[in-house]
Amino acid sequence: MAIETKTSNSIAADSKLRELFIDQLQDIYWAERKLVKALGKMLDAATTAPLREAFRKHQDETRNHVTRLEQVFESIGEKADTTKCPAMAGIIDEANDIIDETDASSSQRDAGLIIAAQKAEHYEIATYGSLAQLAEIMGYIEAKNLLGTTLDEEKATDEHLSQIAKSGINYNAVLEKEDDKNDVL
């Protein structure tokens, strides 16, 4: 493809695309660091063991996502830095609202936490998919592979959360009445 013959690190070095790439890396680096903390809060708030376990596992993976982004910055000769990601800040605010507005030990709480977590995963999937593409077009192969590894983990987490929701949480939540307090069905 003609476009591939034009790509190289030397061309990418001062390109507008590299500037955009770094800006987006800083955005997701901020988001991942916030998510480590947010997932800990969601883990503590979750009702059922499978969801707590899913959040615990993904919190560990998210710590690796932070490290992997630092490796991406290093691989392109940039210092790891953050810029606030308003989108992820909003998604985390929503998760906190769900915790505030649902009863502890309810299936409604878990159903809400899964929605919030999947919103975060979908944002990450969009970001990592795009960044892996940009890395490839600029010839940043190491960065592309690192970003692709994280992308696969985000997709697997999203799938796993869907399975947990379908395996009983959503059904139990639909049986809970509005005036039920702290019932686990």
Which of the stretches 37-45, 92-100, 154-162, 166-174 binds Fe ion when contact is defined by CB under 5 A? 154-162
Q: Which amino acid is at 182?
A: N
Report how many residues bind Fe ion under the rule CB under 5 A. Answer: 4
27 is an interface residue for Fe ion by CB under 5 A: no
Nearer to Fe ion among residue 87 and residue 184 (C-beta): 87
Which of the stretches 2-10, 42-50, 81-89, 151-159 binds Fe ion when contact is defined by CB under 5 A? 151-159
* Smallest distance, Fe ion to C-beta of residue 6, A: 31
154 is an interface residue for Fe ion by CB under 5 A: yes
The residue among 68, 64, 33, 60 whose CA lies nearest residue 145 is 68
The Cα–Cα gap between 114 and 173 comes to: 12
The residue among 90, 83, 72 whose CA lies nearest residue 30 is 83
Tokens 């790509």 sit on residue:
7
List, in sequence order, every beta strand (DSSP E) within the chain.
Answer: none
* Smallest distance, Fe ion to C-beta of residue 30, A: 12
* Smallest distance, Fe ion to C-beta of residue 91, A: 11
The Cα–Cα gap between 35 and 161 comes to: 16
The Cα–Cα gap between 117 and 95 comes to: 8
The Cα–Cα gap between 89 and 30 comes to: 9
Residues 6+ apart with CB under 8 A from 50: 164, 167
Nearer to Fe ion among residue 27 and residue 124 (C-beta): 124
Which of the stretches 83-91, 107-115, 117-125, 132-140 binds Fe ion when contact is defined by CB under 5 A? 117-125
- Point out the residue whose Cβ comes nearest to Fe ion: 65
Q: Which of 124, 127, 131, 138 binds Fe ion (CB under 5 A)?
A: 124
* Smallest distance, Fe ion to C-beta of residue 147, A: 11
Proportion of the chain in helix, strand, coil states, percent, rounded to 5: 80, 0, 20
- Between 53 and 92, how does the x/- string for binding to Fe ion read (CB under 5 A)? ---------x--x---------------------------
Contact residues toward Fe ion (CB under 5 A) are: 62, 65, 124, 154
